[in-house]
Amino acid sequence: MRSVVQRVKQASVSVKGETVGKISTGLLVLLAVGQGDGEKEVTWIVDKIVGLRIFEDEAGKMNCSVQDVRGEILMVSQFTLYGDCRSGKRPSFMTAAPPEQAKALFKQIIEATRSRGLKVETGVFQAEMDVTLINNGPVTILLDSEKKF
């Protein structure tokens, strides 16, 4: 699994001009499921996202998680995080999971995150979406369950 996690003051996602998910302070999570991902990767990514200490404490140090600051999460599926551009100029998405597998695991991730007491808004799986955000910091973290970066 791969994810781009951004600390935001606010974020929203819309489909065909209609807002389908919106949060205030929290995390915008762009998430991609890879071939071979399963329960182990779901647990890893949820633990990592929920536990990331990227919010400032009273001393101004990044020492608090989204749970600590009672933040919200906007989670958007983005298979293009598996785009491989090492050969040529057109990305290959061969290592991204097929849509059926990705959708099932994406739903599991959402439910597992909500079960931690967090408000989680989402985009629409496989839809063309417009995402807007105010990145706070800016703070942007890359996650990969295979630890490739």
Instruction: Give the catalytic positions in this structure.
Output: 78-80
CA atoms within 13 A on the CB side of 136: 15
Q: What pairing do the DSSP bridges indicate for beta strands 62-64 and 55-56? A: antiparallel
Please provide the DSSP assignment of 108-129 as one string: HHHHHHHTTT-EEEE--TTS--
Positive or negative CA dihedral for 123, 36, 7, 109?
positive
Outline where DSSP puts E strands in the chain. Answer: 2-15, 18-23, 26-32, 55-56, 62-64, 72-77, 119-122, 130-144
